[in-house]
Amino acid sequence: MKRVLITGAAGFLGSHLCDRFIKEGFHVIGMDNFITGDKNNLTHLESHPNFEFIEHDVTEFVSVEGDLDYILHFASPASPIDYLKIPIQTLKVGSLGTHNLLGLAKAKKARILIASTSEVYGDPLVHPQREDYYGNVNTIGPRGVYDEAKRFQESITMAYHRFHGLETRIVRIFNTYGPRMRLNDGRVIPAFMGQALRGEDLTIFGDGSQTRSFCFVDDQVEGIFRLLFSDYAYPVNIGNPHEISIKDFAEEIIKLTGTEQKIIYKPLPEDDPLQRQPDISLAKKILHWEPKMGRSEGMKITFDYFKTLPQDALFKSAHKDFSNHIRK
């Protein structure tokens, strides 16, 4: 039985990856320190004979007993609300954490896949974004902690590939959504759905003309799975290229949730990208992958999931209490 280590296993994407690898007959070792994740995302796997869990901060030395065939490094705060609150941890998990996992991959002779992001393109001057676009990132802006950590992560991964001959894969993930997102993580889909469920008006930052594209989690996991088993070591965009303006999207959500909310407008935060759309020609060509889930169906599945959450989850503050994780 092949053995895979998945970091960030208690998070949104990590937990779906654990499910997929268990389903494919792997032995899965999940690792997380719960800084932005949730134990409940893994409860259903707790007693599975092929699943084990290690609570650990990957910015500290990482050791795993036994063989490892694959490592998927998904540990990192991922939403602006999180990485603005814990900027140093975000930089550390992208740099020190990635270094630790590359070292582990080298020691175990494992293939490693690194979760990068469309944020490496920053506020892009080229549209849609292809993998050969170098990006437009403000290194010292508030979002720089995430963007630059991920850019460093890609660089050190390629250095291990070139210098040590390590088998590496890099996925540049564009906005992904689905069940197990945190309702209060500040990203637009849970934000709108949470507001709809609480009977509040939907807040748009800026004039709503900025565009986003959203990839359903099952499509994202399929793309990542195919990339891991491909022989391509350079970054690959995985996301949904269907673009929508935030204003049109808010109107879709109002229709979907059957609520009567109005849309209200607030100033655009600093460095918020105006356009974000993946060019997925490379993924189509080398992975024969493209997203299958339509937005209306995917949004309905996601909204149905949020409706099952306990009432108090709806009213939790947007900020997790990070005090246990912050060294004084």
Binding status of residue 34 toward ligand NAD by CB under 6 A: yes
| Residue span binding ligand NAD (CB under 6 A) among the ranges 158-166, 168-176, 256-264, 304-312 | 168-176
Binding status of residue 13 toward ligand NAD by CB under 6 A: yes
Distance CA 272, CA 268 (A): 7
Nearest to 78 by CA among 230, 197, 232, 217: 217
Binding status of residue 275 toward ligand NAD by CB under 6 A: no
- Please, which residue, 59 or 257, has the CB nearer to ligand NAD? 59
- Please, which residue, 97 or 179, has the CB nearer to ligand NAD? 97
Residues 6 or more apart whose Cβ sits within 8 Å of residue 285: none
- Please, which residue, 75 or 196, has the CB nearer to ligand NAD? 75
User: Is 242:213 a contact under the CB 8 Å cutoff?
Assistant: yes
Q: Which of residues 107-166 bind ligand NAD (CB under 6 A)?
A: 115, 117
Write down the catalytic residue from 70, 83, 121, 146. Answer: 146
Q: Cβ of residue 316: shortest distance to ligand NAD, in angstroms?
A: 15
User: Is 267:229 a contact under the CB 8 Å cutoff?
Assistant: no
Q: Cβ of residue 199: shortest distance to ligand NAD, in angstroms?
A: 26
Distance CA 210, CA 1 (A): 46
User: Is 178:166 a contact under the CB 8 Å cutoff?
Assistant: no
User: x/- string (CB under 6 A) for ligand NAD, residues 51-70?
Assistant: ------xxx-----------
| Residue span binding ligand NAD (CB under 6 A) among the ranges 33-41, 192-200, 221-229, 265-273 | 33-41
Q: Which of residues 193-252 bind ligand NAD (CB under 6 A)?
A: none
Residue 239 exposure: Cα atoms within 13 Å on the Cβ side: 28
Q: Cβ of residue 259: shortest distance to ligand NAD, in angstroms?
A: 25
Is-catalytic flag, 146? Answer: yes
Distance CA 295, CA 242 (A): 9
* Rg, the chain, Cα only: 19
The strand ranges marked E within 74-218 are 111-117, 168-173, 176-177, 202-205, 211-213, 215-216
User: Is 73:101 a contact under the CB 8 Å cutoff?
Assistant: yes
Q: Which of residues 68-97 bind ligand NAD (CB under 6 A)?
A: 74-78, 93, 97
Which residues carry out catalysis?
146
The binding site for ligand NAD (CB under 6 A) comprises: 7-8, 10-14, 32-37, 57-59, 74-78, 93, 97, 115, 117, 173, 175-176
